Structure 1
Amino acid sequence: MNETKVMEFILVGFSDFPDLRITLFVFFFLTYLVTLTGNVLLMTIIRLHRQLHIPMYFFLSILSFSETCYTFAVIPKMLVNLITEEKSISFTGCAVQMFFFIGFGGTNCMLLTVMGYDRCVAVCKPLHYKVLMNDRVCSQLVAFAMVTGFTLSLIDTYFIFTLPFCGEKEINHFLCDMAPVIQAACTKNNGIEIVIFIFCIVVVFGSFILILLSYVLIFNTILKIPSTEGKHKAFSTCASHLIVVVVHFGCASIIYLRPRSTYSLEGDSLISVTYTVVTPLLNPVVYSLRNKDVHLAIWKCLGRKFCIWMR
């Protein structure tokens, strides 16, 4: 078989909506700016205020950092493609984008699992919380989340880019995600698709099950609290995390835990926008709006800056 090795891909992206390119660019650009500002502000606030130096906010700052890197792997290239006619990405560039996209995406799943465990210990074992969630344990949990996410990403990326690609190949997406890149291959390899699907189950479904188990224990403990005020206080510490989990895993499940034959450019691009653009924005917004400690820290910081400006 005479094959020409592919050197670059064409990201189709939002080519089906040429009249909306400028509108989409403005929307995504502003959303990206707000996301970056929100996550950087959240990390800075947590870093500067000692009352936020507890495991819950430590994990939140790591999640914000991971979300920032996650969006950086995708959105700048997407913005460039929206305003230029050049929509190509090199073979190596596509592999690198996929590696970091899946790596930080998997890390986010694992971090949300770790945060669920943290809330479970805080509610179910409050007297042992400082011992069970000491600095060493927290650092180990973060390291485990990142190593797991990027190890699985490396395996998935390696398997996908060992597939044969030939000629000028279009990727029916605005990023180098797994399903559209696999579809761009010259030949199909069901074995590789099965292996990748299993890894997706391990990360997405496995993480969600662990979070679900954490919340079963949390709700069981909350129901035993006699006072309504105590129940509300215990649940309020978990509400923000629960909102982010539902959105994050809801979108990830639709994309990665389903038959490849159901892939479609229009539907998947819309869902992908949700978890690549909207979900990273949701993280700082939800945790900032619903958390009194973060509110207080922000107002203290703003008050200090205002006092310095008035001098």
Structure 2
Amino acid sequence: MSAILIFSTKPVLDEIEAWLRALADERQASGETIEAYERDLRQFMTFMTGYHARPCELADFADLKPVDLRAFLAARRRDGAGAASLGRGLSGIRSFLRHLERKGLASSAGAKAMRAPKKTKSLPRPLTVAGALDVTEEADAFAAEPWVGARDVAVLTLLYGCGLRISEALGLDGSALGDPDARSMTITGKGGKTRLVPLIPAVHEALGAYRALCPFHLAKGEPLFRGVKGGPLRPQIVQRNMARLRGALGLPSSATPHALRHSFATHLLAAGGDLRTIQDLLGHASLSTTQAYTAIDSARLLSVYDAAHPRARRRG
């Protein structure tokens, strides 16, 4: 927050703090969303400070026009920001303006009139079945201690075996997955939405091995996955381990922790899984989000057909 202070007056800073608190308490936004919105607003205020050659004031938000927002988006685009980043940045600014509008300090009409940059639809990029299995089986390859290796295997097995987001896995309570006979668990995902996720034997085995070796007491109210000093395991550690694994295993740069969630869905669909069931397992609010996986599977089937069917190749 101190970085924002450089580009704003005290009244603006007070309103930003109130807005972020409201996002957490009233909207129950995730920590990642709040962090992203705060970062996007900081970028906007940095731009506005240069735009007006002085720190931002509340009056600047009250007088905000579409031309100001277009100038900001153009500057961000010149810096290399893509459509998704620009759209999220605009969403954060709109959220802050709505906060000010509710207090009679600004109008969000100008921001509402702005269209978000059109995103290029890209398909999820899952690993192959062999690649996903290699990752979960070799996840302990770079661990300095056995318990750390068991932890890394357990985390990646959860992502692939249950289709969890990395934030969902790292947010599990110390009492989670303590019953080896449990066949499902409840996960709280985006927006506080809960879903039931089946548990396969591989998940129980990986978690059991981690619990047996972990030197820290995994109690209710404490994080299940720990860093080497006992604090909560950070996503960056999992991402770094995955980067080492993909290098060692010769996997593409798209082989990230989140790609294991994509792999979970794609491999279920390829094995005959029902699209609506997969939607429920992933916690997608809209079926259209889950339908992206059908395009992947269709592309795979066409590739197999072209390679294998005798009449698929043209004769010269």
Q: TM-score normalised to the size of structure 1?
A: 0.23
Q: Which has the larger radius of gyration?
A: 2
Which protein has greater RCO, CA pairs closer than 8 Å, 6+ apart? Answer: 1
Structure that is richer in helix per residue: 1
Q: TM-score normalised to the size of structure 2?
A: 0.22
